[in-house]
Structure 1
Amino acid sequence: MTESEVKALMAAFGAAFRAGDADAAAACLADDFIWQLPAGTGDPRGKWLQGREATHSYLRERFAEQAAGQGVRFSDSSMEILGDVVLLRYRVRGKAEDGRAIDAMGLDVFRVADGKLLSKDAYWKYVT
């Protein structure tokens, strides 16, 4: 993919994410998309979502929580494109599922190919 194609894909995914549009976000994903979330239980790699359908379902739930004033919000993002890898840095604030306050800097590492997102690996730096 060219850099402009990668930028367009990331812009479409970002716009869908900000709008809480799970359908439009899922349209940016490859069928076998993998998302490694920054936290989870029982696995030091965090929670894994495998496949576009599993991710679509997760996003519908997550966006419903955000619409109800729960969950997290993102700001202060910057993106760097390195061929088929995209680094996205941002700030995340809100509440964790257990009610704990979150204020962290984050980094997502995306892989892209053939006009779709192949994977998203998310990392957050927590302040305690």
Structure 2
Amino acid sequence: MTKQEMDATAEAYFTAVCAGDAERLRALFVDDVRWRIPKGAIEPYGGVHQGAEKIVGMMLGAVGESFVAGSQRFHVRTTLIGDDIVCKETEMTATAPDGRTYRNDYTFFFAFRDGSISEIREHVDTRYAAEFFG
């Protein structure tokens, strides 16, 4: 993949997650994709998860339960692109069902294989998330 193709695929990830589009999200992943989240994250998200269907379900399930449909947005602050990896520093905003605004910092590292995302390493302020959802 070219650097432009990797960047476009990473951007397509954000678009699919925000739209709650399972089919489009699944199409971006290799079958054995891995999703790494800090161990301190809210259960059951912390740790390493593997498998496209499982990960799509977890990602979209978390969004669907936690936020008003269509309210989630990623604002990309910085993009770094290497030979087979894209890093996106973002701020994610969304509206909780009770009307509160969720605003948290996320950094994503996307690794690629065979033209698709093979791993996502997600770094997030887990303390803020736990306090917001706690």
Fold in common (TM above 0.5)? yes
Give 4+ residue runs of structure 1 displaced > 4 Å after superposition.
93-96
User: Hey, what does 2:5 align to over in structure 1?
Assistant: 5
Question: Could you tell me which amino acid in structure 1 is paired with residue 81 of structure 2?
Answer: I
TM-score normalised to structure 2 length: 0.71
User: Hey, what does 1:31 align to over in structure 2?
Assistant: 31
Separation in 2 of the partners of 1:60 and 1:106?
A: 17
* Count of residue correspondences: 121
Structure 1 residues 10, 30: closer, same or farther in 2, change over 3 A?
same
| Aligned-pair CA distance for 1:69 | 1.9
User: Hey, what does 2:75 align to over in structure 1?
Assistant: 76
Identity of aligned residues (%): 23
Where in structure 2 are there 5+ consecutive unaligned residues?
Answer: none
| Aligned-pair CA distance for 1:115 | 0.9
Deviating more after overlay: 24-33 vs 45-54: 45-54
Tell me if the contact between 1:111 and 1:120 (Cα under 8 Å) persists in the aligned partners: yes
Alignment of 1:11-22 (within 5 A): 11-22=11-22
| Aligned-pair CA distance for 1:18 | 1.9
Per-residue Cα deviation, 1:42-94 (whole angstroms, up to 9, x for no partner): 9xx9233211111122134234325x628x83432132211111111111345
Secondary structure at the counterpart of residue 92 of structure 1: strand
TM-score normalised to structure 1 length: 0.74
Structure 1 residues 107, 87: closer, same or farther in 2, change over 3 A?
same
More helix by share: 2
